[in-house]
Structure 1
Amino acid sequence: MSALLEVKGLRRDYGALRAVDDVTFQLEAGSILGFIGPNGAGKSTTLRILATLDSPTSGEVLLGGHSLVDTPDRVRPLIGYMPDRYGTYDDVTVYEFLDFFARAYGLTGAKRRQRVDAVMGFTGLGPLADKLTTALSKGMRQRVALGRTLLHDPKLLLLDEPADGLDPRARIELRELLRALADQGKAVIISSHILTELAEICDTCAIIEQGRLLATGKVGDILQQGTSVTAVELSVRFAVGTDADAVWSRAERLLLEQPRVSRVSREADSLRVGLELEPGAEVKPQDAAAALLAVLVTAGLPVCAFGPRERNLEDAFMTVTKGRLA
């Protein structure tokens, strides 16, 4: 399958500052790509170029085989762009807001009304049609912004920090909407510096820092980078009561005394334990983990969960960027 979007050697300089440096990747229709990086990494600049709101210093971007650089007017109808900050208008209802932008996109008559109604139905905004946009919650305003982005039925969606500031329920609802859009065949790029919110929705990801793309590919492949058969990470949880701090501290000390434990750190509700095995050693990872569990139980610590710790996008980001950039 040929890629819907092809980004080749993209570069953007602002005087002496190189904001985007030789970024290259592809995206197929029906895929969601997580554009991952810290603030200032070049995510928004890249998205603005892809939205034809900025011009690259060099490089090429093809959307559906057409150049964004040479023929921006031809590809703009294929793009839906949702910036990280957007405004609403005073004394305008949700329906009036979407209807205004539908007119701006050139939709007229019955087609415009049908499209606005369809977008409101898809985003769940129908019950709020007559409500002022300024009276909406953050999550509902995000839905309105997404609805505006969808009015002209674009093939490529560019969403810059779409879940920023949303409560957990609104994040889940937004995630479901984006997955539904991908299932419709749209290509979606979501930029974020909050990696956990991307892990459950994206099937591909691109890691960028200081303008340089350090890794791109399927999420599963990215998560495997830096893993080793001689290094194992475990997650340990304890049933604790009023003496929680004492239990955690005692467990940390005991674990660090074990010969194969390389590090112990406390996470939200568990201990993250790193095991290092010697290359070629006869001890298998599962046997080393079992021995460690026996030590904890024998010491009388109230272990309630013990097992391998799954890598996430934060781990992958730290692995990919470690030692790569000064």
Structure 2
Amino acid sequence: MSAAISVRNLFRYFGALKAVDGISFDIPHGSVCGFVGANGAGKTTTMRMLATLDYPTMGSAEICGINVIDHPDKVRSLIGWMPDSFGNYDHMTVLEYLDFYARALGYTGEERKGRIEEVMAFADLMPLADRISNKLSKGMTQRLCLGRALLHDPQVLIMDEPAAGLDPRARVELKHLIRILAEEGKTIFISSHILSELGEMCDSLLFVNAGRIVHHGDADSLRYGSDATGGVFYDVQVHGNPDSVADWVILNHGVEVIETRKQGARLRLPDTDPARAAEVLKGMVKDGVPVIEFHREERNLEDAFIDILGQLEQGGAGLTAPPDLSTPDAPSAKDPSISEATPPGP
């Protein structure tokens, strides 16, 4: 089965600016993928191309096996697009707003009424049915935008910064809705600056910088990542003399004290092999070191992202390159169907 979202050698230039610079990735069906990057990194441009709102300079992208350039109408029936901001209408209630879009999507009669009720119930919009749609709070507005995106029951949701500007309660509610949608088998591609929340709800994370993918993996691979030479760090705490850790390390090769601490030390092991860590702990206990805590250090995702950017500035040392998904027959910028076409409307 093809991936829900498949991107190959995708470029988008605006004059001399390379907004998207040859990215390739796959997102499996039924998964939640977080898209992370600084402002101007290429997130929204990539999402707009996937949503058929912009053309690539070259490269290809598919939604559920359908090319977004060749068959935009088919793709639009498969995706729900939730932009970071969206148009609204004066003097139109929430119910009227959803009814308008349901009609535009071709729903009629009882089917339209039933579909609107389903969406409003899911997004908790029933209490807001008679509220004016452009007079809602940010959290309510995002729920309305999500409801609109779900009206035609799409297989894939593309969500650009849906949590931006939300208060903590609204973020929790949105995260809950996203997890329910994922459990129902929908594929969700979501960008955000709130990395901790992406880590909690996403199966994988894509980091983009200057239009290029610099990391593609799960959150744990970042939280428990290694340093530039493959080493990992452990926090060791002991009962009694904290120097007992450093004294033990002196007599055991392959372990390094990075920092002495009040109750022990921070150690560096040369690789990520858990068996190696188990041997170190076993050796300490056997030699009488009174270990009361021994665990691998966990980075928060913000620190991991900053570390990756720092490594890029130093020439990329220690970075794990994303898998090579390039294809030799990617469309050329000279293809008139790509480079000379006018981007389609929403």
The reply to whether TM is greater than 0.5 is yes
Work out whether residues 224 and 296 of structure 2, in 8 Å CA contact, stay in contact via their aligned partners in 1. no
Cα offset for 1:293? Answer: 9.4
Question: Match for residue 266 of structure 2?
Answer: 275
Confirm or deny that 1:51 pairs with 2:42.
no
- Structural mapping, 1:75-224, within 5 Å: 75-224=75-224
Note if 1:315 corresponds to 2:303: yes
Task: Note the alpha carbon deviations across 1:22-63, whole angstroms, 9 max, x for none.
Answer: 111111221000001111110000000000000001111111
- Aligned to 1:207, what secondary structure does the other structure show? strand
Q: Distance in 2 between matches of 1:235 and 1:54?
A: 52
User: Offset at 1:307?
Assistant: 6.4
Correspondence for 2:257 among 256, 260, 263: 260
Aligned to 1:232: 233
Q: TM-score, normalised by structure 1?
A: 0.78
Q: Secondary structure of 2:111's partner?
A: helix
Task: Report how many residues are paired.
Answer: 288
1:32-71 to structure 2, matched below 5 A, reads 32-71=32-71
5+ unaligned residues in a row in structure 1: which ranges?
Answer: 237-258, 265-270, 295-304
Q: Distance in 1 between matches of 2:130 and 2:37?
A: 38
Report the CA distance shift for 1:279/1:198 in structure 2 as closer, same or farther (over 3 A): closer
Deviation at 1:80, TM superposition (A): 0.9
CA positional deviation for 1:4: 1.6
Q: What is the letter of the counterpart of residue 260 of structure 1?
A: V
Separation in 2, partners of 1:195, 1:136: 26
Distance in 1 (CA, whole Å) between partners of 2:96 and 2:269 is 66
The alpha carbon displacement at 1:124 in A equals 0.9
Question: Counterpart of 1:324?
Answer: 312
Change beyond 3 A, Cα 1:307–1:187 = same
Q: CA deviation at 1:262?
A: 4.5
User: Conserved in 2, the CA contact under 8 Å of 1:36 and 1:208?
Assistant: yes
The alpha carbon displacement at 1:232 in A equals 2.0
- Structure 2 portions without partners, runs of 5+: 238-255, 316-346
2:235 touches 2:267 (CA, 8 Å); kept in 1? Answer: no
**Greater displacement, 88-97 / 37-46:** 88-97
Asked if the contact 2:225–2:232 (Cα under 8 Å) also holds between the matched residues in 1, the reply is: no
Three-state SS of the structure 2 residue aligned to 1:55 is coil
RMSD of aligned Cα (Å): 3.3
SS at match of 2:77: helix
2:50 counterpart letter in structure 1:
L
Distance 1:279 1:137, change over 3 A: closer
Q: Structure 1 residues 37-46 or 307-316, which shifts more?
A: 307-316
- What is the deviation of 1:309? 4.0
The answer to whether the Cα contact below 8 Å between 1:277 and 1:285 also exists between their aligned partners in 2 is no
In structure 1, distance between residues paired with 2:202 and 2:68: 24
Contact 2:281 2:294 in 1 (8 A): no
Q: 1:279–1:5: structure 2 CA closer, same or farther, 3 Å change rule?
A: closer
Distance change >3 Å, CA 32–CA 274, structure 1 → 2:
farther
- Per the alignment, do residues 212 and 292 of structure 1 end up closer, same or farther by CA in structure 2, a change over 3 Å counting? farther
Q: CA deviation at 1:291?
A: 8.2
Task: Tell me by how many angstroms 1:215 deviates.
Answer: 1.4
Distance 1:292 1:53, change over 3 A: farther
Shift of 1:279: 5.2
CA gap 1:110/1:22 in 2 versus in 1, 3 angstroms: same
CA deviation after TM superposition for structure 1 residue 212, in Å: 0.4
> Residue 22 of structure 2 contacts residue 212 of structure 2 at CA under 8 Å; is this kept in 1?
yes
Identity of aligned residues (%): 45
From the superposition, tell whether residues 77 and 310 of structure 1 become closer, same or farther in structure 2 (CA, over 3 Å).
Answer: same
Q: Any idea what SS the aligned residue of 1:323 has?
A: helix
Q: Greater shift after overlay, 175-184 or 88-97? A: 88-97
Q: Match of 2:201, SS?
A: coil
Counterpart position of 1:241: none
How far residue 143 of structure 1 moved from its aligned partner, in angstroms, is: 0.3
Contact persistence 2:8–2:25 (CA under 8 A): yes
